[in-house]
Chains A and B, each alone.
Chain A
Amino acid sequence: MVSLTNVIETHELTKRFGELVAVNRINLKIEEGEIFGLLGPNGAGKTTTLSMLATLLPPTEGSAEVNRFDVVRQSSQVRHSIGFVFQDPSSDDLLTGKENLYLHALMYGVEMKNIERKIAEVLKLVDLTDRQNERMKNYSGGMRRRLELARGLLHEPKILFLDEPTLGLDPQTRVHLWGYIKKLSKEKKVTVIITTHYMEEADELCDRVAIIDHGKIVAMDTPMNLKRNLGGDVVRIKVKKPNMAAVKKLKYVKHAKREGDSVILTVNDAGSHLQEILGKLGKIESVESRSPTLNDVFMHYTGSGIRDADAEGGYFERIIHSQANNR
């Protein structure tokens, strides 16, 4: 059953690489016009999921429909419906920005008579009109991203995939790029699927997010609801010998854990209960209380262990990384 407004639907979508289950029975429904975020630690299966939706990898099990076309049986129609901005540079350094756009237009079968006009249009959208005839090796990281964003839009896709669009960019450029992404989602009415592990990025941009870990979706909602469902404020207390048992007994303390010499609590309405908590906990050195961020939500669902960064990305990345490491 496909709803009319869903541009992406997956059913039990699964990808295995030998023993490793990279994506484990994912069910997604993404509506037209949404900016949807896929969040997860390194190696959680974000890029693999995106690659399957973009027909770059066949699913091991389950199915996915993009723009109501099946990713396996109707891969050509799917490719016509989507734009993809990759994590790593994907344009030719020796060509100018405009030439890279021209190549893309040709590959996507944009009609010859429309090519010039469309290139001018997308260049304007990302403010690169005056740099279009420069070779891309002279572009900064941010400019390159913007050009690749423009390129992804050139053939007027219904859905745009952005894989870690602001990875490695400075904070100014990042905020700038968010502006462009919002603008194009509004002006071009494209559905945007974005993977990221920058929480403030997801919070700022996304209408809805799914947090995936070990190939499974562990939470999916609007950033606002996710934060609300975490159940209250985050209180961090630096304390020598905390009386954890006493604090855990308190009804309004939803969650309590030790981290180094601090205790981190999730508390309903911290303002009116803080006094009592501090009294029970022991000798306090410092206290910090704030409303939850998406980062807290993320840490809550995925834990705080450090992930093996080597497993970032899909099969392709892993091959490359393993070879880079062999040197």
Chain B
Amino acid sequence: MSELSGLYALWYREFKVFLRERSRIVSSLVQPLMWLVIFGGGLSSSILLTGVPSGINYQSFIFPGIMCMTVLFGSLFFGLYIIMDKRVDFLKEVLVAPLGRTTIFFGKVLGGSTDGFIQVIILLILGTFLFNIHLTLYSLVITLIVVALLLISITSLGLTIGALMSSPEGFGLITSFVIFPLFFLSGALFPIKNLPSWLYVFVSINPVSYAVDALRTVILGVGSFGLAKDLAVLVVFALVMLFIGTEAFKRMKF
């Protein structure tokens, strides 16, 4: 019982703080909008997408990828807050509470994922009005499931890095080595059919590619791996990251 209310407490804190820091919400949306409006808009007129129906322009094509990017950047940097908590004694206040480390970790994942979920939903709403994105109930449900799985995985990854590092600089260094390969090798910005085979290998071992592919399948009807395989990979990815994160939290020094 106390583990459950503890879980709720940790989620409550992250959520309240998120709602109170409006700048966090705004800044999290600026970047994807720039990609969509400037990068997407700029390339739309001059790019020819192979293997994609002609009704889909480049801007709509990268929309699922930009959704994943929002998750990627927002959730990975969520791990930075744990380093902030370490710098003051807030983390100790949590660690000295009679809660298991697993509970603390899951509470953080839940809190971070909620933040990301809200950002993605705002982006989806903007997408339907501005970027010609149409969702049915079915595609909305699958979209939310895919986003949730990716959020859990990436938040766990961010928290794992945060648990192992003790300075924001160190965190920044590690994440920049992680975040750009995950993003650029996900097929967020290009179709993955007809890629050079060396590049295709990297794309196909990147779990984020499967989230992009799943979203593209349900939102635009264009996919490469197949939805069942996408979802299976994402579930496994989420489980593995949750496991690694839990272990990292158990070993976390303060």
Q: Using CB atoms and an 8 Å cutoff, list the residues of chain A in contact with chain B.
A: 54-56, 76, 79-80, 82, 84, 86-92, 94-95, 99, 102-104, 106-109, 112, 315-316, 319-320, 323
| Interface of chain B: mostly helix, strand, loop or mixed | helix
A88: B residues at CB distance < 8 A: 88-89
- Contact between chains at A56 and B166 (CB < 8 Å): no
Q: Point out residues on B near A: beta carbons under 8 Å.
A: 1-2, 5-6, 8-10, 12-13, 16-17, 20-21, 86-90, 92-99, 166-167, 253-254
Closest 4 CB pairs of A and B: A109-B2, A106-B9, A90-B89, A86-B89
Q: Would you call A56 and B96 a contact (CB within 8 A)?
A: yes
The contact sample of 25 A-B pairs, CB cut-off 8 A, is: A54-B96, A56-B96, A56-B254, A84-B93, A86-B93, A90-B88, A91-B93, A92-B90, A95-B13, A95-B16, A95-B20, A102-B9, A106-B9, A107-B5, A107-B6, A107-B98, A108-B98, A109-B1, A109-B6, A316-B92, A319-B166, A320-B86, A320-B87, A320-B166, A323-B166
Residue of A nearest to B5 (CB): A106
Are A76 and B13 in contact, with the CB atoms below 8 A? no
Check if B93 sits within 8 Å of A316, measured CB to CB.
no
The chain B residue with its CB closest to the CB of A135 is B20
Q: Given A88-B88, A94-B17, A106-B6, do A323 and B167 touch, yes or no (CB 8 Å)?
A: yes
Docked Cα-Cα span, A86 to B95, in Å, equals 12
| A56: B residues at CB distance < 8 A | 92, 95-96, 254
Residue of B nearest to A323 (CB): B167
Asked whether A108 and B13 contact (CB < 8 A) given A56-B254, A79-B98, A89-B89, the answer is no
Q: Do residues A99 and B2 form an inter-chain contact, with CB atoms below 8 A?
A: no
Number of A-B residue pairs with CB-CB distance less than 8 Å in the complex they form = 86
Tell me the complex Cα distance, A315–B254, Å.
8
Shortest CB–CB separation between residue B1 and chain A, in angstroms? 6
CA distance A127 to B89 in the complex (A): 24
* Chain B: CB-nearest residue to A314: B254
Partner of A316, one of B12, B90, B94, B254: B254
A106 and B97 CA atoms in complex are apart in Å by 10
B residues near A94, Cβ cutoff 8 Å? 16-17, 20-21
Q: Which of B12, B13, B87, B93 has the most CB of A within 10 A?
A: B93
Residues of A within 8 A of B254 (CB): 56, 316
Name the CB-closest residue of A to B11.
Answer: A106
Given pairs A79-B97, A82-B96, A108-B98, 20 additional interface contacts (CB within 8 A): A55-B96, A56-B95, A86-B89, A88-B88, A90-B90, A90-B93, A91-B90, A94-B16, A99-B16, A102-B9, A103-B13, A104-B9, A104-B93, A106-B6, A107-B2, A107-B6, A108-B2, A112-B5, A315-B253, A316-B92
Q: Which residue of the partner chain A has the closest CB to B169?
A: A323
Q: Please, which residues of chain A bring their CB within 8 A of the CB of B16?
A: 94-95, 99
B99 CB contacts on chain A under 8 angstroms: 107
Across-interface contacts of A104 in B (CB, < 8 A)? 9, 93, 97
How long is the Cα–Cα vector from A88 to B96 in the complex, in angstroms?
14
B97 touches A108 (CB 8 A): yes
Kindly state the separation between the CA atoms of A150 and B97 in the bound complex, as whole angstroms: 15
Chain A residues with CB under 8 Å of B5's CB are 106-107, 109, 112
Which chain A residue has the least Cβ–Cβ distance from B7?
A: A106
Closest Cβ–Cβ distance, residue A223 to chain B (whole Å)? 28
Q: B89: which A residues are within 8 A, CB to CB?
A: 86-90
| Contact, CB under 8 Å: B94 / A92 | no
The answer for the CA separation of A92 and B81 in the assembled complex, in Å, is 12
Measured in the bound complex, the distance between the Cα atoms of B205 and A254 in whole Å is 78
